[in-house]
Structure 1
């Protein structure tokens, strides 16, 4: 039958392609089922268990350096400067001569006082001898009792005059010694404010020079009275314990000063103009890097908080009002959002002082997939997460075959 052959030739390609169409249709159905299974999985999140721990209460405050000792060199007598014995900016030792004031007038006064003392001693010796001679004569009534009394009074007056002249001599010797102006302390001396030939007086307002001891050196730190009050309350309530008063300095260029210092004391009054309390710390300064008047930043641990929680930074977020919040794995693995009090950052962690309880599970990984009220699959943080296969493959389903 000639008409049947063309029809058979045209239907064979369609019959051959039918199994391929069936396979494609079945494969598309499996992919849709797998995607539906993946979408229905419970999100996996990583958590950390928090417990109260000890966290240092650190603070960073502005400070200013000041000399450990500072002394103004001043004249004690009046006269002309005849010599200067030091080099400006050098280290001077206590007692080292710095200036010489013309001593001639004071040397003459000393010589005069010595002569007056010698004269007074001679007069006293004569008066004492006269009184000694009158004593037995008065007992024998060879001289009147009044004469003996007068002689004895003259002798005692002469002895008093000797003491007066002795004091005058010592005063003249002291003034003569003051013509050499010594260094009152050991330290670095600044520039000289007078020159040779200048007239100086014992009552002048300006010093001759200034000496400062810079090793060790002080740093005066200003602290708000409100912060100090909060710290004292925390210590009184038992939430914190005092820490060792060790201080680290940050210099003006942002670098860290090597040696650490210690807090010496704190003022007992509040400055009414600034509302701050001054704390003074002492630092070693062997190389002279710190100079008086420099502005620095002081960082120190003022106490140890014994009831704080440390939560990794990625586990703390802020709500639209700026409050710190965390996501917690609650009962039945449901996500609970809780507002906490995050006071500061300590390394990679936030220090939480309120809002948490011991044993809370804080979500730190997968927070983008966790919503409040949602059921999650919690695993310890940093655990390897297992990604399951599509449901169809997990059940051992095979691709459909065409008939």
Structure 2
């Protein structure tokens, strides 16, 4: 009986031991630390092979454009518009009659001036004949001629008030009035622009100003189209309100598809470099005023000091420290150290 009890107890203890061993085998392994991963497998990274490419730095602005020549004609007399002889979009020549106002406005004395001109012209022609015949003195002729010139200039001045002509050749881009409108003083009648070239004016900070030179190439974008231009003028006086300097851009517009008054995206190319080594700024590691990147070499991370050049957006030029064919590590740089083991992600 005693032997039977001992046998049961022993069997029970053995079962508990087996269960305990089984439970211990089923327990998950504790998580590995970053140090263990570093030493056993290496830090997983991605790399990019350095290849030279063309690189440029641009300064970007927004601007409203206008024709290289743009003239607004204003009323010179208070009266009703009798006729409009052109429409928006027409190309007009300098001196072409575009609008007319009544000549019977009492304040103009149009008829009186016309009669005075006719009379003085007849007198002038008569005195010219008499002078040629030797029947009058030169002084009498000169006085008559002066009176005629005054009457002619007076008539021309009045006609300019009622017969509105194009001051320059160009395209009519605006006529904000209609026949029959009664106009007041100094109201806009029409705008003429020369649209084969356009002007954009931007405002540059003092830091931007030192990078901009006359003649620099400019790209202008509007409505899906790209236009070419140059920096044509650089202002030297700072605007006290905006703390900026005016920069003028002249844009080629041979097909006149770029319209006056639209807002465009202006990009001034301040520097261009052929076959440069370019990387993302975020890959630079700053330490004690020096800049470094990490390269992959034989499964290890290699820390390399570099010198930087011009920057544009998120990209920056590397002028020294990298060469074509280097394998640049492009992620996880915060986990890297010089000489640490790495593993390439596939």
Specify the alignment match of 1:302 in structure 2.
270
Asked whether the 8 Å contact 1:49–1:359 carries over to 2, the reply is: yes
Specify the alignment match of 1:148 in structure 2.
none
Specify the alignment match of 2:253 in structure 1.
284
Deviation readout 1:350-390 (Å, 9 max, x if unpaired): 32345625579453368679832326699xx99xx9xxxxx
Please give the secondary structure, in 1, of the residue aligned with 2:188: coil
Specify the alignment match of 1:151 in structure 2.
none
Specify the alignment match of 2:186 in structure 1.
205
What is the alpha-carbon distance in structure 1 between the residues aligned to residue 174 and residue 302 of structure 2? 69
Asked whether the 8 Å contact 1:70–1:210 carries over to 2, the reply is: yes
Specify the alignment match of 2:10 in structure 1.
none
Q: CA deviation at 1:226?
A: 1.1
Specify the alignment match of 2:166 in structure 1.
183
Inter-CA distance 119–262: structure 2 relative to 1 (3 Å threshold) = closer
Specify the alignment match of 2:120 in structure 1.
116
Inter-CA distance 375–268: structure 2 relative to 1 (3 Å threshold) = same
Q: Structure 2: which 5+ residue stretches go unaligned?
A: 1-35
Deviation readout 1:144-171 (Å, 9 max, x if unpaired): xxxxxxxxxx612211123213313432
What is the alpha-carbon distance in structure 2 between the residues aligned to residue 223 and residue 109 of structure 1? 54
What is the alpha-carbon distance in structure 1 between the residues aligned to residue 156 and residue 255 of structure 2? 37
- The structure whose residues are more often helix, as a share, is 1
Q: CA deviation at 1:290?
A: 3.4
What is the alpha-carbon distance in structure 1 between the residues aligned to residue 271 and residue 281 of structure 2? 26
Q: Structure 1: which 5+ residue stretches go unaligned?
A: 1-35, 132-153, 233-241, 386-403
RMSD: 4.8
Specify the alignment match of 1:351 in structure 2.
316
Inter-CA distance 258–324: structure 2 relative to 1 (3 Å threshold) = farther
Q: CA deviation at 1:79?
A: 6.9
Specify the alignment match of 2:100 in structure 1.
100
Inter-CA distance 194–357: structure 2 relative to 1 (3 Å threshold) = same
What is the alpha-carbon distance in structure 1 between the residues aligned to residue 235 and residue 177 of structure 2? 37
Specify the alignment match of 1:144 in structure 2.
none
Asked whether the 8 Å contact 2:295–2:328 carries over to 1, the reply is: yes
Aligned residues: 300
Inter-CA distance 188–322: structure 2 relative to 1 (3 Å threshold) = farther
Q: TM-score, normalised by structure 1?
A: 0.56
Asked whether the 8 Å contact 1:328–1:338 carries over to 2, the reply is: no
Whether 1:260 aligns to 2:264 is: no
Q: CA deviation at 1:115?
A: 2.0
What is the alpha-carbon distance in structure 1 between the residues aligned to residue 255 and residue 123 of structure 2? 57
Asked whether the 8 Å contact 2:75–2:183 carries over to 1, the reply is: no
